[in-house]
Amino acid sequence: MTGTRYDICFATTKLAKFCNNPGKVHYKALIWLLGYLKQTANLGIRYYHNEKNSPLGEMLIRNNILTEEEEITFSDSSWQDCKDTARSTGSFATTCQSGLIDYASFVPDPIAASSGEAEYNTASVAAMSILHNRFVDLEMKNLGLEIMNNEEYTIPGGKDWKPSLILLDSTAAISMAESARSTSRTRHIDRRFLYVRQGQAAGRHKLSWISSVDQIADIGTKAVTLAALQPIMKLTYVEVKD
């Protein structure tokens, strides 16, 4: 799950919560997950020289998302799906040259008072991860080992630093990042609120909208049916022949 299988990230994370005292329903879920892994053992991640020719690139063009940045992050969140704590499950997936390079499924603090806040909290975690990945890439460039083919960039927000694209399916969360207003409804998320807003203003990242149908990070926030999972899987995985 931590290496290449983003599609089982949500299930594995939730099952891990019940390692101490599992019940029958958890064993059934585990058996189903093992069966799913056996049936999909031939899947692999493919990276493209020209990402426009990839299924992911075609999807971005279909959504009128044009960017020169090779690292693209999808960010999504449920809302208060945990019955015990009322917390929301967030997930992000970062691709480079149309192949997955980083992803996670998690339950961030604080408790969100709306679905827009839940999306915003997750976007904040995604922005932190993006900055880390770009510093790793910058360090590798300094060592002569390039991950990406784009031009050299300097400090975050510098003239050669192109904003990292974060795709959300929540217009409310995007509006919160673009607004310079602080309200009573956002005081409890001030740290995340200011982090995302400041990063957007400084050009470290840019939040943009994408259709829920093409939101890859959706599979990291909830259990989805196979019918809903397969179209997203085709965007990020290919069949590997022996």
Supply the mean pLDDT for the chain.
85
Inter-helix orientation angle 9-16/24-39, to 10°: 150
Find all residues with CB under 8 Å of 231, minimum gap 6, and list them.
213
Rounded to whole angstroms, how far apart are CA atoms 67 and 57?
10
Contacts 24+ apart (CB under 8 A), 132-140: 133/71, 133/94, 133/101, 133/102, 134/71, 134/164, 137/71
Tell me the C-alpha distance between 92 and 139, whole Å. Answer: 23
What pLDDT is attached to residue 132? 87
How far is it, in rounded angstroms, from Cα 52 to Cα 235? 12
**From CA 183, how far away is CA 163, in angstroms rounded?**
26
> Which residues in the chain come in under a pLDDT of 50?
151-154, 156-157
pLDDT tens digit string along 187-217? Answer: 556 677 788 888 888 888 999 999 999 999 9
For residue 152, the model assigns a pLDDT of 47
pLDDT for the residue 169: 94
**How confident is the model at residue 143, as a pLDDT?**
59
The single-letter code of the amino acid at 119 is: E
pLDDT at residue 218, as a whole number: 95
75, 211 Cβ separation under 8 angstroms = no
Q: Bridge-partner residues for 80, per DSSP?
A: none
Domains and CATH numbers, the chain: 47-237 (3.30.420.10)
Strand partners, 75: 92
The span from the CA of 125 to the CA of 164, in Å, is: 14
Q: How far apart are CA 131 and CA 101, in angstroms?
A: 14
pTM attached to this predicted model: 0.87
